[in-house]
Structure formats: structure tokens, C-alpha cells
Amino acid sequence: MLSIQLSDRVKNLPPYLFAAIDKMKQAALAKGIDLIDLSIGDPDIPTPAHIVEAMKRAVENPAHHRYPSYEGMLSYREAVAGWYKKRFNVSLNPKTEVLSLIGSKEGIGHIPLAFINPGDVVLVPSPGYPVYPVGTLFAAGESYIMPLKEENEFLPDFKIIPEGVLKKAKLMFLNYPNNPTSATADAGFYKEAISLAKKYNIIICHDAAYSEVYYDNERPISFLEMEGANDVGIEFHSLSKTYNMTGWRIGFAAGNKDVIAGLGKIKSNLDSGVFQAIQEAAIAAFNTDDSILSDIRKTYQDRRDALYNGLKSLGFHLIKPKATFYLWAKAPSGFDSSSFVAHLLNKAGVLITPGNGFGAPGEGYVRFALTAPVEKIKETVERIKSVISVSG
Ligand SMILES: *Cc1c(COP(=O)(O)O)cnc(C)c1O
């Protein structure tokens, strides 16, 4: 008999947040609870039909049945560059400054392998997407947590990072519009990040998965719009949230060519690219009619308004999202993140995500995902009202 031992890197993993939630969810369903699930950031709206049609056509083409190119079809990378030009007025060389990804999670998880030696520091925002510290751990790097605090509008405070940490830092993750806090960043913030990166030789990896999920017609800017951004980093992007394509697994990295090449080196040794039929569908996605996208945004905005106004009237302390399909709220007094999530699940049949699951600085908060129809959102508010009395 073998004695099968997991590696230290796997043993050292924190429990994957959504796996723990899924267990709670399964237990509630087994008890027969009629659940409203607002816990996971997965759009409930289908992929627009013209994208599905493009996939159907592409799947018939035998040329797409063979191995794709590692870096993505040139036509896909050109479509990415075209989209950046149109949306952000940023020029990219599709041959050297764009790389296809099997979803942006894949690139985010792999990039530390390209640039981090054991013991190197990675600056990680927290609360944040769990893949930033996990990718760092897999590369034997050390995560240095940058807490995102409400009093700083959920932006990291670079001034409090010790000089010694900055000197050891090789890479920094940033994410705006932000999951889970829904915060956005302005040009001034990105400028500050770029000058820090230049001073200490730190690669910036900006995760822009939610740049197209915004409200009140206030379009978020791209990190790459800033002067000097392309000298210090890249932006990760995804079709998942913009076009309701989470199941398709396609995204991209764009920006500094040396950073793109480094990530490409890791990938060409690990995977063999994205199914070309999916790349064809993604090209169709970049040509989506603006009216389709504004309908999607309108749907989320109605949900946001219903949840924000409803919870506000119950006395909750809330952040009004300018972007993303999340709402970040303080757990009412008497509860911490986990006890409030358990209370809502067991007493109201409403499942949300505990803020501390995104890192210790998220303690005391919870995240609602706006991924259910507006009637369900209104019912959520009614259910919460019946199991809670909030006093500030
Ligand atoms: C959803 C999400 C992603 C990744 O999406 P993919 O489907 O892998 O492209 C990346 N970053 C954040 C913050 C997300 O919420």
C-alpha cells in the first residue's frame, strides 16, 4: 500500500471559500429549505444568442478540431486589441501584447510561477479574489496583505507598506471594479500605483473582470489608459462577466510585452490554448451590439436598486455599488460575518457569502451577489426583514 501524502503546498491551502459554502448549501437543500442563493458570482442570464450561433458555426470547422496556437489565434488577439482601442482608446500590439487565457482565473493563478522565486513578496489586496494568494503560495512566494478599508474607499494605502516589504516585492495584484467590495478606482489611484511600481520594480497585475458591469452610465477606466502603465504591468480580462460566458472559459491578458511573454512561457509548458471555436465565439462577443450590453446593465441596476433600497430601509450599513454585481454590507450588530450568513441561511433560506472568506480584513461584512431576478431580490429583503432587527 502506498502512503499517499499531499504536498506541503496543497496542505497549506486555506479551505476554498466556495467549497465550504457549497457544503452549507447542500445541507440546507437536504433539509428541504426553499433557498434563494445570492452567494456566487455567476451570472444567471444566458450568453447572448449571436455568440452561441457563432460557436455553432465554428464547431463544424475541422480546422478548429486541431491544437490551437498557444498564444491564441491572431484574429482573436486582434479582436482584443480592437476592443481595447474602441473601449479605452488604448493601442496594443496583438502579436506581443495580448495573450489568450482559459478564463482570466487561469492567468491570475499562473502568473506568479513566471516571476516569483521562493520568498519573493507579492502584494495582495484583501478582502479579495482568493486566487491571488493561492497562486502566490503555489509559486512559494509570500503574500503581503494590503487591507482594503472602508475609510480608504477600499483602496490599499501604499504609504503604510514598510520599505523592506516594498524592496522584496516583485508583483502586485489590484482589482477594480472590485470583487467583493464593489469599489472603483480613479486615475489618481492608478498613477500612484504606477509610480510605486517604477520606484520599487514591481509588476502590476490589474484584474479588470468587472470593467463592463457598471451603473448610472459611469464607465470604469482601464489601468492601461494611464501613462506608463504598459511599462510596469498588465491587465487581466475576461469575457465571463461582460457577456455572461463564465462556462465557456475564455479571457486574456494585455499589456507589457515582457510580462505577457513570461506568462506565455508558463502556459506553453502547461496547457495547449483555448479551443478555437470558443475563440471564434469570443470574436463575435466583442462585436456585441451596445443595446444588448445596456440591457444586461439595466437588469443588474434594477436588482441593485431593489436590494440597496430594501436593505437600507431595514437599517443596514451598505456600500452602494457603482460597478460589479455585488453588494457589500456590514453584518448587523451582534453578528460577525459567519454567524450572520448562518443565521440568514437557517432562518430565512437566503444564502450569501461571509466577508471574511475573502480574507481577514473582510470580517464583519457580507457579500450579496445580484445574480437572481428582481422578484427574488425583493423576496430576499422581505425574508431578511422577518428574521432580523437592525439598529445601525
Ligand atoms: C470572476 C472573476 C474572475 C475570473 O473569471 P474567469 O471566468 O476565470 O475569466 C477574475 N477575477 C475576479 C475578481 C472575478 O470575480
pLDDT in tens, 55-84: 999 999 999 999 999 999 999 999 999 999
Probe target for ligand 1 pocket from 99, 241, 358, with the most ligand atoms within 8 Å of CB = 241
* Ligand 1 centroid, distance to 117 Cα (angstroms): 25
Could you tell me the pLDDT band of residue 20, with boundaries at 50, 70 and 90? Answer: confident
**Cβ atoms of 284 and 50 closer than 8 Å:** yes
Q: Which atom of ligand 1 is nearest to the CA of 207?
A: 11
pLDDT tens figures, 198-249: 999 999 999 999 999 999 999 999 999 999 999 999 999 999 999 999 999 9
Q: Residue 96 C-alpha to ligand 1 middle, in angstroms?
A: 23
List the beta strands (DSSP E) in the chain.
36-37, 98-101, 121-126, 142-147, 169-175, 203-207, 233-238, 251-255, 326-330, 350-351, 353-354, 365-369
pLDDT at 392: 45
- Considering the entire predicted model, what is its pTM? 0.96
- Parallel, antiparallel, or unpaired: how do β-strands 326-330 and 365-369 relate? antiparallel
If one residue of 131, 211, 240, 246 were mutated to test the ligand 1 pocket, choosing by the most ligand atoms within 8 A of its CB, it would be 240
pLDDT, one tens digit per residue, over 319-360 is 999 999 999 999 999 999 999 999 999 899 999 999 999 999
- In the chain, CATH 3.90.1150.10 covers 8-46+291-387
Region of poorest pLDDT, from 21-35, 63-77, 96-110, 297-311 = 21-35
Stretch(es) of the chain classified as CATH 3.40.640.10: 49-286
The topology (CATH level 3) of 49-286 is: Aspartate Aminotransferase; domain 2 (3.40.640)
The fold of the 8-46+291-387 domain, in CATH, is Aspartate Aminotransferase, domain 1 (3.90.1150)
Tell how strand 251-255 and strand 98-101 pair up.
Answer: antiparallel
CA nearest 179: which of 43, 309, 292, 41?
Answer: 41
Q: pLDDT digits over 135-154, tens only? A: 999 999 999 999 999 999 99
Local confidence band at 294 (pLDDT 50, 70, 90 cut-offs): very high
User: Phi/psi of residue 97, each to 5°?
Assistant: -115, 15
For the segment 154-194, what is each residue's pLDDT rounded down to a tens digit?
999 999 999 999 999 999 999 999 999 999 999 999 999 99
Pocket of ligand 1 (CB under 6 A): 41, 103-105, 129, 175, 179, 207, 209, 238, 240-241, 246, 251
